[in-house]
Structure 1
């Protein structure tokens, strides 16, 4: 039997805060967790292309095609994040982010690769998330855009902490040429392909 005629399916979703980038629980202790399968009736064999941790939100690609997943996860495809950080982020911290900072990955020191980073001049118009971010009574916050070609576990959060501005809210806004806007939290859109 030839496998070339298998039709794969691809989805773009706006992952809400508090959801795991998985489809079912493997352990009874996770029964209280929320999974992507609660957002839509996805086909068998679906997988997340790069994950967002439970506390992160935004653009997540799903596919039944392992080759597409491998390509998007490769260093060829940029991923852009907007991070709301604790404090008014300095230009010095932005420059450190651009050059690369030392973070911990699997118990070892890791130097992040140079990336694009800049302070956002306006607050992004995201919907309020299900769990409110602390307000300005606890001090100022600011927003920064960080674009990576790599994706270590919780990398953006570790990077902003390394320069003294811990992340309070993290939203992935772009993967390659695919943008989060104009989607709303929890939206699921099926597409013909991720690759133009």
Structure 2
């Protein structure tokens, strides 16, 4: 079995074909045939993406029924209150139903974080905060929708861990076998 850990850059599709969109895809970064992403990471999100050639392992990682934890660093607009964090921890009501409870905490701005190109917008009048959020599902744009639902839209989103694997010191676009 092959298992690849990739630090997916911002602005890259989590697939090998662009379907005519002209957007960068995984083929730019992964030269190995026969591996496929175990789950997705949005075009405008960054961080850990796991690829494998084993269908059962792919399902174990991606299928919400396995409740594999996925941890994100989210730079959000404003400063979340304890009530907002508690709402994330209990589960958030979204249009497609209530989310499972999440782990959520405010953290210091990450050190040694790679710059994003393009950088997020900066506004003097609106502070931003970093939170660490761990979920056990993976709905479409779930973390972004959760933070927006508690009044703190996500400015930058980086997945740093899936289950036992983490992005470690991989730079954007770098990958390694697990």
Match of 2:37 in 1: 48
Measured after TM superposition, the shift of residue 104 of structure 1 is 2.2
Work out the CA distance in 1 between the residues paired with 2:18 and 2:146. 30
Match of 1:157 in 2: 144
Q: How does 1:42-191 map to 2 (within 5 A)?
A: 42-43=32-33, 45-74=34-63, 75-105=66-96, 110-120=97-107, 122-125=108-111, 126-191=113-178
Work out the CA distance in 2 between the residues paired with 1:113 and 1:167. 19
Measured after TM superposition, the shift of residue 184 of structure 1 is 1.1
Alignment coverage as a number of residue pairs = 175
Measured after TM superposition, the shift of residue 40 of structure 1 is 2.6
Q: Would you say 1:23 and 2:16 are equivalent positions?
A: yes
* Larger CA Rg, structure 1 vs 2: 1
Moved over 2 A (4+): none
Cα-to-partner distance string for 1:152-195 (whole Å, 9 max, x where unaligned):
1100000000000000000001011111121111111123xxxx
Cα-to-partner distance string for 1:132-167 (whole Å, 9 max, x where unaligned):
111242410001111111111100000000000000
What value does the CA root-mean-square deviation take over the aligned residues?
1.2
Q: TM-score, normalised by structure 1?
A: 0.85
Match of 1:33 in 2: 23
Listed as ranges, the gaps of 5+ residues in structure 1 are 1-7, 192-196
- Match of 2:124, SS state, is helix
Q: TM-score, normalised by structure 2?
A: 0.94
